[in-house]
Amino acid sequence: MTKDTPCSVADHRTDPPLFSVVIPTRNRPALLLRAINSVLMQRDARAEVIVVNDGSDAALIAQLDDIALMLADRGKGRLVHLPAKSNGHGPSFALNFGASYANGSYLCFLDDDDQWTDPTHLAHASTAILVANQKPDLLLFQQYAYNSEGKLQKGPIWIEDLCRYIQETTSPINGTFYPVTAKILMKSAGFSHVNTTIISKELFENINMFDPTIRYENDRDFYYRAVDSAKNIFYSTSFVARHNIPAAVDKLSASSVVTNVDKYLYQSRLGIKAIIFCKTPEIRMHAQHHKSYVFRNLSVHLHKSGRSHDALQFASEALSLKFTFKWLLYTIFICTMAVIETFSRKSPSKS
């Protein structure tokens, strides 16, 4: 990055930040620099960057140090290190660690292999915060997703399916922001990705930050808890980021190093947490439907592994959480397979 790169991010040696952007990273300095650049290109925004190195290889530390020197020299933020650990401490732990260094009133997050695409993203968020009669606790945006071949993934993926409903029923603030409730947000089948979430530091701390025990869909868990506790939520129809879906063989991605079964376990845990602890009925129902989806996938996985009895248990649980005739037929099929499996075990083998 050259010294004359266009940048309007505030110098925090003289001007305190409104936003702290936390970027966890591990062994991807080139991608990290691209992500940082997308933050430094933000116009008219008082923001700092906090990069959290989650145990990158020693051979890459020099590159990270160069990035740290660039941030420090320009007064744009800092690099902090976590102790080295096999597979890292995980995204939730790293995000929480970075947030502990934040000076901003609002926290933003960005994956190191993604980038913001709208240079006015933080400026618009800043204006919305300043002009609102009641300052928002949570601001939610949209992003595009591209697969490993660079092709745009068809949606909706996160909460972009709310655009039409919101525009028809709610008046905007500052052109693109709509005040919404948890009940409205739960009309979407998805959740807001961390790249497109801005949360007040006060709310972040009140909901006990990210759950470090969840290494997959930690942002869904965070979304449920944040929406459940937020008093004022702004929803924007603007697409502000690009999410690059990691290839299945990419072992540098936090989601790629987690096995499918581990993913189901993490998803199940976050669903149970939401059902037990969230106050909003619509969030509990949303989590229940998601848990049904997880149990369906787990049932299919177990059936393919030749474990029909175990598959039946999860198929039945999925059906009880969300009834559909299609899944009823599948559950009957799995039940039949389990019965056949039982009788085949009891039948004496022919000599």
Domain ranges of the chain: 19-256, 269-346
Percent of the chain with pLDDT over 70: 90
Average pLDDT for residues 220-225, to the nearest whole number? 98
Residue 335 has pLDDT above 90, yes or no: yes
Write down the pLDDT at residue 172.
Answer: 79
Average pLDDT for residues 162-185, to the nearest whole number? 83
Residue 290's nearest CA partner among 162, 191, 149 is 191
Write down the pLDDT at residue 343.
Answer: 81
Average pLDDT for residues 191-216, to the nearest whole number? 97
Written as six digits, the tokens of 273 are 């947490």
Write down the pLDDT at residue 283.
Answer: 98
**8 Å CB contact between 227 and 233:** yes
Residue 209's nearest CA partner among 107, 313, 341 is 107
Write down the pLDDT at residue 181.
Answer: 94
Residue 15's contacts (CB-CB under 8 Å, 6 or more residues apart) are 46
Per the model's pLDDT, the better-predicted residue between 134 and 278 turns out to be 278
CB atoms within 10 A of CB 320: 12
Average pLDDT for residues 305-313, to the nearest whole number? 93
Residue 3 has pLDDT above 50, yes or no: no
Average pLDDT for residues 38-61, to the nearest whole number? 94
Residue 300 pLDDT level (bands cut at 50, 70, 90): very high
Average pLDDT for residues 231-237, to the nearest whole number? 95
Write down the pLDDT at residue 1.
Answer: 34
Write down the pLDDT at residue 141.
Answer: 97
Write down the pLDDT at residue 256.
Answer: 64
Residue 11 pLDDT level (bands cut at 50, 70, 90): very low
Residue 301 has pLDDT above 50, yes or no: yes
Write down the pLDDT at residue 253.
Answer: 67
In whole angstroms, what is the distance from residue 258 CA to residue 313 CA?
Answer: 24
Instruction: Work out the mean pLDDT of the chain and round it to a whole number.
Output: 90
Residue 272 has pLDDT above 60, yes or no: yes
Query: What pTM did the predictor assign?
Result: 0.90
Average pLDDT for residues 66-88, to the nearest whole number? 91
Per the model's pLDDT, the better-predicted residue between 125 and 2 turns out to be 125
Per the model's pLDDT, the better-predicted residue between 32 and 168 turns out to be 32
Residue 246 pLDDT level (bands cut at 50, 70, 90): confident
| Right CATH for 19-256 from 3.30.470.30, 3.30.530.20, 3.90.550.10, 1.10.10.10 | 3.90.550.10
Write down the pLDDT at residue 2.
Answer: 33
Residue 345 pLDDT level (bands cut at 50, 70, 90): confident
Of all residues in the chain, what percent are helix, strand and coil, respectively (each to 5)? 45, 15, 35
Average pLDDT for residues 224-249, to the nearest whole number? 93
Helices (H) and strands (E) in the chain, counts: 12, 9
- Tokens 């697969």 belong to residue: 147
Write down the pLDDT at residue 155.
Answer: 84
**8 Å CB contact between 337 and 309:** no
Any bridge partners for residue 24, and if so which?
52
